Amino acid sequence: MHHFYFLYSHMILRKKVSYIKLFIPVLILICVSSCYKEVELPLDTTLVFELLVTPEMQEFIYDSRDTSYTISEADMEFTLDKQPLDLDEIRTRGKSALRFQRKSFLVKLKQPITLYSIDGSSVRNLSRFKLISMAMDYTYIENRIGLGILEAQELMPLFYRYVELKINGSTQGIYMLIEDPEKYYKEHGSEYILRRSYYNSIIDSEYDPSFHSIPRDDYEMRFKEIYSNLTLLHGEALFEALNQRLDLEQYFMKMGIDYLLQNGDYTDELYFYAVVKQDQIRFSIIPWDYDDLFRSQPHEVGITWGTGHLFGDRYYATHQDILDELGDKMIFSIEDDLDYAIAMDPFLYNRYERCLASMIQQINPADIDALFEQVKHELTPFYKRDEVIKQSQFDQDETNAGLWRENMEEKSAFIKNRLAVMKEQLNNIQP
């Protein structure tokens, strides 16, 4: 991902009266208007978003925990490099981020921001995006590394980049701006998107029947059929049934990257959006939230909840229990029943391994070096500013420039070493 510059176009005077949507029933505040004008920013601008609210609201945001709410009050403004944006809604989000002072936010704009890549070769209009605080992302590189590798394999279609966020002039530190997947799907011919949860359920979904007018229940049933087929079929018949409902090549590649990066938690960090061809529903995927990389063991170890139960009650007291069940199979987590079926069904695993071999053979150490060099280029301006990096005191772990450089070197070496081991293990596999 490269630098970007922003063009604000045709922003007009708006007035908005709304009530705060806090789940805590005491704050009722009124939004007012702001003025908008066309501004073009230079290519090398460090993007700074700022939320302007009352001091009382600022303290409430800092002190609140474990509650998602919409922020809305009189004279509130949301700006980008001091230019007012035509804000529709801003609310706190993220189960983990809500436990910290530095909150993550969902932003909805009435007028989209037009984003260009630094060479002008691509353009993206965003009216909805998420500002991720990365409060559990040590030295702020894990999400970026994960997204970069996914993007290189054409598995990350969303726009993303580092930005700074301020509240009332006080920096909140480094944030990752990511295009909202629940907006992306509508702009790419889809009517339905869901976020997977534990036990093969749906934690959240959006439905907008503007293309095919397929009933919502049909989309949900199609997703559920992915899992119902796991216990009804096996071998090639299971592969065909799954592949009719889900882009298995995408899913295989995503599993392979999770194995490469030792992604410790991803069952509920995956979006499925429906693609309809010849009246047949087939899901594509959008991976999400790569802040649990480089883990020594997957999420399901020692956990009594969350592990799929379509194949009976599965509990893994230690990581060795998982390794004993997997053998030398190149799958990091079997928490979800779909991943477990892929690991245990010989035909499915063979197809997964062939897909993995094809992908891994195309990734070279030079690609990893280039990615880390790009991340270094993107983060250096932030790590040079003490007031920005000091905000990490409110994260799960504090950081500094020395720890960042050390972690960059360590993780780069880790990925390249693991890549070499995987290539050796897959050497005799024909894609």
Residue 323 covered by a domain: yes
Last residue of a domain, one of 327, 361, 395: 361
What pLDDT is stored for residue 33 in this prediction? 33
In this prediction, residue 122 carries a pLDDT of 52
Which structural domain, as residue segments, surrounds residue 254? 185-361
| 123: in domain | yes
Query: Could you give the CA distance from residue 164 to residue 177 in angstroms, rounded to a whole number?
Result: 9
Distances (CA, A) of 222 to 114, 125, 213, 282: 35, 31, 15, 8
Looking at the structure, do residues 13 and 130 belong to the same domain, yes or no? yes
Number of domains in the chain: 2
Considering the domain architecture, whether residues 97 and 230 belong to the same structural domain is answered as no
Do 239 and 354 share a domain, yes or no?
Answer: yes
pLDDT tens-digit readout, 142-182: 999 999 999 999 999 999 999 999 999 999 999 999 999 99
For residues 344 and 221, membership in a common domain is answered with: yes
Measured CA to CA, the distance from residue 243 to residue 237 in angstroms comes to 10
| Structural domain contains residue 109 | yes
Per-residue pLDDT at 216 exceeds 70: yes
Q: Is residue 404 part of a domain?
A: no
The whole-angstrom separation of Cα 364 and Cα 374 is 16
User: Residue 45: inside a domain, yes or no?
Assistant: yes
Q: Do 177 and 224 fall within a single domain? A: no
Query: Do 166 and 192 reside in the same domain of the chain?
Result: no
pTM for the full model?
Answer: 0.88
- Pair of tokens at residue 378: 């993107």
Same-domain check for residues 52 and 200: no
User: Which of 133, 129, 47 shows the shortest CA–CA distance to 89?
Assistant: 129
> pLDDT exceeding 70 applies to what percent of the chain?
87
Residue 313 falls within a domain, yes or no? Answer: yes
From 166, 184, 202, the end of a domain falls on: 184
**242 and 290 in a common domain:** yes
Give tens-digit pLDDT for 271-330. 999 999 999 999 999 999 999 999 999 999 999 999 999 999 999 999 999 999 999 999
Instruction: Point out the domain boundary residue: 361, 388, 415.
Output: 361
Please, what is the average pLDDT of the chain?
A: 89
Residue 34 pLDDT: 36
Tell me: do 246 and 141 sit in the same domain.
no
Q: Is residue 279 part of a domain?
A: yes
Give the model's pLDDT for residue 46: 74
The reply to whether 172 and 211 lie within a common domain is: no
356 in the same domain as 226: yes
- Whether residues 22 and 137 fall in one domain: yes
pLDDT in tens, 25-57: 333 333 333 344 333 434 445 789 999 999 999
CB 226 within 8 A of CB 239: no
User: Do the domain assignments include residue 383?
Assistant: no
- Structure tokens given for 161: 């980049």
Beta strand segments in 149-228, E: 160-167, 170-179, 192-196, 202-207
